[in-house]
């Protein structure tokens, strides 16, 4: 079983930055898997934000391209999401997750096998 724990959320003004972290445990080879971030705002469906495959390939939702950067440190079993130029519409609970595949496909959020408890991001205008 894979455990994921997110941290780094908070409240910022529009234009500000936050760096989210997600530590993984429970499996020695999480580097074998794609990891990603999805978010969910109240009353809205889950939205995939960014993913990073086991080979380092990254993908982003159009809404965050150029503002967010996903990265991973396999030695530390940690996934990151650097969020810059934050907008009020980025306000949501952010979760890290994995579908337990080496590559995250288009439907990876729905296929997520494990995710954490989430970290709240609030952006004020």
Give the pair of three-digit tokens for residue 107: 């439907």
pLDDT in tens, 24-74: 988 767 789 999 999 999 999 999 999 999 999 999 999 999 999 999 999
Query: CB-side exposure of 76: number of CA atoms within 13 Å?
Result: 9
- Which candidate, 6, 74, 75, places its Cα nearest to that of 37? 6
State pLDDT tens for residues 78-117: 999 999 999 999 999 999 999 999 999 888 988 888 999 9
Total count of residues recorded for the chain: 125
């Amino acid at each position: 079983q894979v455990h994921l724990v997110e941290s780094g959320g908070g409240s910022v003004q529009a234009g500000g930055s936050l760096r989210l972290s997600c530590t993984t445990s429970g499996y020695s080879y999480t580097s074998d898997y794609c990891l990603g971030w999805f978010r969910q705002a109240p009353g809205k469906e889950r939205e995939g934000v960014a993913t990073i495959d086991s080979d380092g390939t990254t993908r982003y939702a159009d809404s965050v391209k150029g503002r967010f950067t996903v990265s991973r440190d396999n030695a530390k079993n940690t996934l990151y999401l650097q969020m810059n130029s934050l907008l009020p519409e980025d306000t949501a609970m952010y979760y890290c997750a994995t579908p337990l595949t080496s590559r995250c496909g288009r439907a990876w959020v729905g296929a997520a096998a494990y995710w954490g408890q989430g970290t709240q991001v609030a952006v004020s205008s």
